[in-house]
Amino acid sequence: MTQAPSVDVHRPKVEYFNLAELTNTDPKGFIRPVERYRAEPWGLYMARTSDHPQFHYMESWLLPGLSIRVTVFHYNPAHRRDQDYYLDIGQFTQVEPKKWKAVDHYLDIVVRSERETELLDIDELLAAHAAGLITLAEATAAIDNASIAIDGIAANGYSLERWLDTLDITLTWL
């Protein structure tokens, strides 16, 4: 019998988006300059450079009503991935008129347009719940929200855009 690999148990990642100061405070506390924010009734768009070794730029939409964050990573050539969108499941709230907060609830979805979705990090969610870092209600909501997104995308030919169009949400990118 093989033993399952151990999971890195960590607190939910928290991130801040300050529209007035054009900054993004990442989960490690680093304050990053933001090139562009755009608020819509259904969400918040952010575009910024990155010093990550795998990607140089990122664009994200926080969609609080769906409990998802949709990100397009602009990968460096040696690190390109077979994905069109990366979805984080979590709680995304406007905490002040010009400030938003994101709390990641561990589950992620890779969208490969017109082909498939892939649910990631179930082990992280379960380990965080077992360690008391996320409540049963939060873990259940994460599973429900991931299921809604996966079902919606699949029902629309594995197109994130077509699913969001049915909800009157149109994402635009740089």
Walk me through the domains of the chain, giving residue ranges and CATH numbers: 14-166 (2.40.380.10)
Calculate ∠ Cα 95-107-115, nearest 5°.
115
pLDDT digits (tens, 9 = 90+) for 97-142: 999 999 999 999 999 999 999 999 999 999 999 999 999 999 999 9
- Spatial contact of 9 and 133, defined as CB atoms under 8 Å apart: yes
Q: What pLDDT score was predicted for residue 174?
A: 85
CA dihedral 45→50→55→58, nearest 10 degrees, is: 0
pLDDT digits (tens, 9 = 90+) for 14-32: 999 999 999 999 999 999 9
Give residue for tokens 């575009």: 47
How confident is the model over 4-23, as a mean pLDDT?
91
Q: What pLDDT score was predicted for residue 168?
A: 98
pTM of the model: 0.93
- The phi and psi torsions of 168 (rounded to 5 degrees) equal 60, 40
Beta bridge partners of 37: 46
